[in-house]
Structure 1
């Protein structure tokens, strides 16, 4: 029997939802690395492992205010006075039976075996009494948190506040990062208005306000939001192909189906683009697409209906931005789902849900054009075709 090879053009059509996410994530090459000061690295992504440049702590340090002591008590106070945080008299040394007053964070003198907390100490003249629980108590030893050279965060980690503080504690002044991908948003449709109440036949644009903050949450930077009419016929192609904007990704809303005014679907073939995804087996948001132009810019086509566009953005745009920044594709937690949900044969269904940490509950108000459920939701649930009530489903959390 002769087995015919699949047509390559059909392999990217009607792609299963989870596979579409994977394709969008693996398709791009991460953006080039930049080195930036810590003050400018927030929200960017590590391009290299973050390693400790010195031990943490860098020296034996007191974990409590009190007295550094050597040997069993009682202890006589050392003649060299108190040791305060920031002092660098590392040459000081206690002998057995001696103590010295010490502040939290101060360099522990050589010979000290523990720190007696101030609230447990009794001082009588030049003698200190008190219980010491164990050898080494209340002393943070050099390198006990991390040795020099220890990898503390892998490449692909987002540079959040805690990571920036960790980098500073490790001795870094700059970080190698991948920048936010630059995203231009083209909102297409002759029927759209952008302020006020729509007249009959008009529709208020919801995606112009929705997409920029979503792109920022997903790790991108919006360079421009531009309205594109359906007529003249070449208006969308002109806007997509324009090099007036320095962008990595062009997001087009509407024009992704096969109607007379849907210009986007013809554009990749007409201009030699590489198809990655051409429709996804999902509801809502089936007519979505991902392609790469010959100049390496990415086109993400989202449906024009607001909730369908939001669902499609989490399917293709979010993984694409993660891939461009070198981040891993987020693993989606699987949570039992309750509520009135009808699975769709052959397609994943994305529904807004509330989540109490243990169980997700489906919300209403999520027709393709209606954002009510999504506006109140904690997450979107990806309901597979074979789902049965109460079974776990993947949850797309904010920012995933």
Structure 2
């Protein structure tokens, strides 16, 4: 990282940012620093993001394909059997009326075929001919019925999951151009934190060190056990050293605590020491105050980020959904997530000039959101039973029946959004 020292006043001068603007600003910062595209074999592409649109190399299907087991016939019946065509074989044309070939599901339909007769709807005459009445609807798939060669099936920015990998294989691809998953690290600040056993005697149990890596993985980042460090001592040299070490290998370093300006809050001075510039410094949202996202340029010219999460556990998760999720989407070239809406079944108080992110339980069938209890900044009980946050904009409150945006909590890998 740059080693020139900026003054603390210089680094902390940014005004409080509206929550909606903060999301878009950090997403744009991520896009501007998006990871380079790489080529990956299909079996290694899961969890990455398409760096270019997915298109088939040929028509899908590439040739007329039988949908059933049966008989490819030409002209009126009964028909004389002249051969057989199986999946994977090349069918010779049917050139004479009154002839047929046995055909398997998925096999190439011979040129000259007028219909495909299902085997269960066919009979054999005493002299070995095939008889029956083909259905009026063709029993084969036409070339290009699913897609045509070069047609865009999925845009760049699409997350790669097993369904996408299967589609890519059917399109004839052996590899995909993707953006790799960002590497993330977590620094836990706070001398008051215990890493094992029950809290007591002035110390509290660290709930974020074990939990945040799981949230980051669900948002598409790579986090190894060695990437989680702490508690880091409450001194400026310790903070600077920990940040330097983490930034050597991580695209994003999340920190917990130290985002205020108290006597043992060293994050801002540490960022100044490292020559950071703020993308966002303090967001007008409750809970979640104060949070930040800073940008640093390494000696290799590559941009890294530091996300300062508050020390209170629920506030830290609000910072994750508000700043980290949009940033990670940008870093892999995904669009800013569009928020679904739900109807409130109970009132939700506003927070004055701040956006209120209120924990809710969702009924996905009814499209409703119900506020949960135990939602203090330091509480995790409500979070454990919630599906997301209802967004109550500044100067408003949420009334029963209001349709409001919802920030869903991140899904498990492979799960689809509601």
TM-score band by shorter chain is over 0.9
Which of residues 372, 377, 389 is equivalent to 2:386?
A: 377
Superposition pairs of residues 1-400 of structure 1, within 5 angstroms? 12-28=14-30, 29-72=33-76, 74-79=77-82, 81-88=83-90, 90-125=91-126, 126-134=128-136, 137-223=138-224, 224-242=227-245, 245-295=248-298, 296-357=303-364, 358-385=367-394, 386-389=396-399, 390-399=401-410
1:32 Cα offset (Å): 0.7
Distance, in Å, in 2 between the alignment partners of 1:48 and 1:41 is: 13
TM-score (normalised: structure 1): 0.93
Q: In the superposition, relative to structure 1, how do residues 103 and 398 fare at CA in structure 2: closer, same or farther (>3 Å)?
A: farther
Q: In the superposition, relative to structure 1, how do residues 292 and 367 fare at CA in structure 2: closer, same or farther (>3 Å)?
A: same
Q: Which runs of 5+ in 2 are unaligned?
A: 1-9, 412-418
Question: Matched residue pairs, number?
Answer: 389
Given that residues 75 and 99 in structure 1 are in contact (C-alpha distance below 8 angstroms), is that contact kept between their aligned partners in structure 2? no
Q: SS state of the match for residue 222, structure 1? A: coil
1:244 Cα offset (Å): 7.5
Q: In the superposition, relative to structure 1, how do residues 12 and 84 fare at CA in structure 2: closer, same or farther (>3 Å)?
A: farther
Given that residues 94 and 109 in structure 1 are in contact (C-alpha distance below 8 angstroms), is that contact kept between their aligned partners in structure 2? no
Q: SS state of the match for residue 186, structure 1? A: strand
1:265 Cα offset (Å): 1.9
Distance, in Å, in 1 between the alignment partners of 2:358 and 2:336 is: 21
Given that residues 330 and 336 in structure 2 are in contact (C-alpha distance below 8 angstroms), is that contact kept between their aligned partners in structure 1? yes
Q: In the superposition, relative to structure 1, how do residues 66 and 325 fare at CA in structure 2: closer, same or farther (>3 Å)?
A: same
Superposed CA offset, 1:167-190 (max 9, x none): 111111111111110001001100
TM-score (normalised: structure 2): 0.89
1:9 Cα offset (Å): 7.8
Q: Which runs of 5+ in 1 are unaligned?
A: 1-7
Given that residues 228 and 239 in structure 1 are in contact (C-alpha distance below 8 angstroms), is that contact kept between their aligned partners in structure 2? no
Superposed CA offset, 1:163-222 (max 9, x none): 000111111111111111000100110011111112221111111111111111101011
Q: In the superposition, relative to structure 1, how do residues 240 and 155 fare at CA in structure 2: closer, same or farther (>3 Å)?
A: same
1:399 Cα offset (Å): 2.6
Q: SS state of the match for residue 144, structure 2? A: coil
1:10 Cα offset (Å): 8.8
Q: In the superposition, relative to structure 1, how do residues 253 and 69 fare at CA in structure 2: closer, same or farther (>3 Å)?
A: same
Cα RMSD after superposing both structures: 1.9
Distance, in Å, in 2 between the alignment partners of 1:66 and 1:307 is: 62
Q: SS state of the match for residue 100, structure 2? A: strand
Given that residues 91 and 109 in structure 1 are in contact (C-alpha distance below 8 angstroms), is that contact kept between their aligned partners in structure 2? yes
